[in-house]
Amino acid sequence: MLGVAHTHPGSLRHPSSGDYRGDVRWVANLKGQEGVFGIGTADAGPGPQPGIAWQPAPNVQALGDLCLSWYVLGARDKNYRPVPVELTIGPDLAAPLRPVWTELEAHAERLDRLARQLTGVKFEVTAGHQKSALALTVPLPDAGRAVRVELEGKAVRYRLLAPDGGALAADLREDRVDVGVFLMLSELAAR
């Protein structure tokens, strides 16, 4: 989670003191200890060209009467900072992740930890047994071998990939994906 967007009445386009009291405690729990906050109002008025969105300020997006003002707050900040925003028209780069979004959300913290702790970790969306699966591959030092984890719904499957393209299923019942990967790595190291 990166932040929160909510609406304010009238023309209050800046986070309130009540927002600050809750937000400053909340951002202290985020990984980067910084959050993004959008404040929506319905008082922008017409832009320079009717029906076309415009930016009255670098941190403000408006369309008709609708207005979104964007801010950043860090855990030690005494106040919010306006954050400039830009809209880029292009493909939805997150579209391939939609089928595995539930898996990403359920395992996000542990997947992030693995990606930070291990070198060469790769993620991909792949065909699962019933639907798309999120696959995590951790390369091993010996050429062509890797630990692969497939997350599909509530199922977590572990495999050892061989250099010839084959795979051995691991008899491992561990829902905590980072724990499962390290259990497999320790078992392989003991051999």
What is the chain's pLDDT, residue by residue, as a tens digit (191 residues)?
778 899 998 889 999 999 999 999 999 988 789 999 999 999 888 888 888 888 999 999 998 889 999 999 999 999 999 999 987 778 888 888 899 999 998 999 999 999 999 999 999 999 999 999 999 999 998 878 999 999 999 999 999 999 888 888 999 999 999 999 999 999 988 88
Segment (H or E) for 112: helix 101-117
- Both tokens assigned to 34: 């910084």
For residues 68 and 84, what is the distance between their CA atoms, to the nearest angstrom? 12
CB distance 59 to 67 below 8 Å? no
Contacts of 62 (CB under 8 A, 6+ apart): 44, 47, 53, 54, 55, 56, 68
What residues does CATH 3.30.70 cover in the chain? Answer: 95-190
Positive or negative, the Cα torsion across 174, 175, 179, 182?
Answer: positive
pTM for the predicted model, two decimal places: 0.62
Task: Give the count of beta carbons closer than 10 Å to the beta carbon of residue 26.
Answer: 16
Backbone φ and ψ for 144, nearest 5 degrees, come out as 85, -10
Task: Give the count of beta carbons closer than 10 Å to the beta carbon of residue 88.
Answer: 4
Query: Under CATH, which number does the domain 95-190 receive?
Result: 3.30.70
